[in-house]
Amino acid sequence: METKKMFIDGKWVDAGIGETRSIINPFNQEEIAVAAEGNESDAKAAISAARQAFDNGDWPNTPAAARAAFVRKIAELIERDKEELAELESLDTGKTVEESRGDMDDIAGVFRYYADIGDKDGGEIIDSPIPDAVSKVVHEPVGVCGQITPWNYPLLQASWKLAPALVTGNTLVMKPSEITPLTTVKVFELIEEAGVPAGVANLVLGAGNTVGAELSTNIEVDLISFTGGIETGKKIMQAASINVKKLALELGGKNPNVVFADADFETAVDQAMNAVFFHAGQICSAGTRLIIEESIHDKFVEALVERVQNIKIGSGFDDDTQMGPLISAEHLAKVEKYVEAGKKEGAKVVVGGKQPEDPALQNGFFYLPTIFTNCTTDMSIVQDEAFGPIITVETFTTEEEAVKLANDSIYGLAGGVWTNDIVKAERCVAKMRMGTVWINEFNLYFPHAPWGGFKQSGIGRELGKLGLEEYTETKHIFHNLKPEPVNWFGE
Ligand code: NAD
């Protein structure tokens, strides 16, 4: 099996000390690829290439329209290779191919969006406090960017970082999750094919505590953009303080989905399932905390249980599969641990709560879609991000109580409200402390809407214009056209 290589300074290379890692299919634990396993030295080589390309190369001063043309070309190549990329993503993550095809459309859309807006910022002339002067504000690239991505949406998360960094003239070193590097490797082939100059975009494969830690601590890196778990985010924040790197952190979520009795019942049930069981709950914005008005609790849970039992679990490559496996044995063990803790704390499993018994699924990391009732807000199953196919159900009787429950979390990534009372809906979302709130919707995101978290869900925003601004420094240039002595200190 040919080893997947790293891309450093325009060349495909093995790890310096020749180490490799097996990439495993979570559906059956078979080896699907072997990838180079880089370490701190490989990361240093990539950082040095990116530094050189930024300090001495043409990329930062290339006209934005020309950089945008490269980014648009990458979008076209992703569209051309969509099927191959989608299948690779499903092999690596276990998600359904249909879902991966949707991801690839979204990813091409992200590159297109940033190609479209990347050359529109001409800076700004601001008023000068003295006559005969020009005062202007311009945006410049930050420099060398370290970009670290997670395993749940490997290429989607990479696209949110690559496209805005490139179009604004930065150079970068990306480190994908060591579990799911395959589509990112493929997209770096497309970046090369698009003709992006050597050293501008570099790829290092390997573990978080080696390659990731080097990116976070290396003083040649000016910005770290990280998507992943809250504990890793805290470590990166600390490491990045070494040279006061710019930080963009997209961390976890434990997202409330509030359903009022006056909501459209069937739609709310349907979307409550979509909000969580898509990609087996391994979504940062999954609506795992279902908060239902007490008067409809029994009917709602009954309807959910009936539908959850029919979710078709299996290989992402089978047309009728609706939910694939979890990503790894470690992650399955973590999900099981949370379920056991939930039971001990007094929550009641009404469906799921274990691995499937189907003999065809025994080699994969499968877990049944699970619903817990009798939940209270202090339980770990309600508070912690289990990142699996688990819904916890809490109830409320007043609007104030619903909002209080929704906000009772260290996270603040996203949340939804279901009601046909538009005034009530607006009142609720105005008080919900989250980066994205949906009314009669859940999980919808798109390239021109900013994405990110309040509270411990992160710092900064990706997507939208704000996602572009993360990759720029603002400079004020003041030009006195008629300089004269000030004479403060006499002649
Ligand atoms: P993780 O934090 O374990 O790993 C994420 C990345 O960080 C990986 O590439 C990993 O190798 C690297 N890493 C690990 N330790 C490191 C260290 N000490 N220094 C530098 N890098 C290090 O997260 P995960 O399990 O891969 O992903 C799941 C998490 O990602 C969940 O918490 C989920 O909510 C979050 N997520 C958030 C968003 C968002 O938009 N907010 C999107 C997707 C995923």
Question: ∠ CA 318-444-428 to the nearest 5 degrees?
Answer: 135
User: In angstroms, what is the span from residue 331 Cα to ligand 1's centroid?
Assistant: 13
284 is a catalytic site residue: yes
Evaluate if residue 421 carries a pLDDT over 90: yes
| Beta pairing, strands 31-36 & 3-4 | parallel
Share of the chain above pLDDT 70, in %: 100
Spatial neighbors of 474 by CB under 8 A, at least 6 apart, are 137, 138, 139
Of the candidate ranges 131-135, 456-460, 483-487, the one whose mean pLDDT is the lowest: 483-487
Q: What's the confidence (pLDDT) of residue 373?
A: 98
- CB contact at 8 A, 37 and 20: yes
Any idea which residue has 């150079």 for tokens? 171
Mean pLDDT of 385-399: 98
Ligand 1 atom nearest 385 alpha carbon = 32
User: In angstroms, what is the span from residue 132 Cα to ligand 1's centroid?
Assistant: 52
With a 6 A CB cut-off, is 40 part of the ligand 1 pocket?
A: no
Q: Residue 56 — pLDDT band, cuts 50, 70, 90?
A: very high
Evaluate if residue 491 carries a pLDDT over 80: no
With a 6 A CB cut-off, is 313 part of the ligand 1 pocket?
A: no
Query: Which one, of 309, 288, 391, 289, lies nearest residue 356 by Cα?
Result: 309
Orientation angle between helical segments 64-80 and 97-117, nearest 10 degrees: 160
Render pLDDT for 310-354 as a digit per residue (tens, 0 to 9): 999 999 999 999 999 999 999 999 999 999 999 999 999 999 999
DSSP 396-460: ESSHHHHHHHHH-SSEESEEEEE-S-HHHHHHHHHH--SSEEEES--S---TTS-B--EETTEES
Q: Which of 284, 293, 375, 470 is catalytic?
A: 284
Q: CB-based burial of residue 34 (10 Å sphere; 0-12 exposed, 13-18 middle, 19+ buried)?
A: middle
Q: What's the confidence (pLDDT) of residue 1?
A: 85
With a 6 A CB cut-off, is 284 part of the ligand 1 pocket?
A: yes
With a 6 A CB cut-off, is 413 part of the ligand 1 pocket?
A: yes
Q: What's the confidence (pLDDT) of residue 142?
A: 98
Render pLDDT for 26-42 as a digit per residue (tens, 0 to 9): 999 999 999 999 999 99
Mean pLDDT of 446-468: 98
> What DSSP character marks residue 210?
I
Render pLDDT for 157-207 as a digit per residue (tens, 0 to 9): 999 999 999 999 999 999 999 999 999 999 999 999 999 999 999 999 999
- CA 124 to chain centroid, in Å, comes to 31
Instruction: Work out whether the CA dihedral 301, 303, 304, 306 comes out positive or negative.
Output: positive
Q: What's the confidence (pLDDT) of residue 490?
A: 86
Ligand 1 binding pocket mutation candidate from 23, 152, 161, 288 (most atoms within 8 A of CB): 152
With a 6 A CB cut-off, is 353 part of the ligand 1 pocket?
A: no
Token pair for residue 142? 């930050």
Evaluate if residue 357 carries a pLDDT over 80: yes
Mean pLDDT of 467-491: 95
Q: If you average pLDDT over every residue of the chain, what do you get?
A: 98
First CA to last CA distance, the chain: 79
**pTM (2 d.p.):** 0.98
The kind and range of the H/E element at 259 are strand 256-259
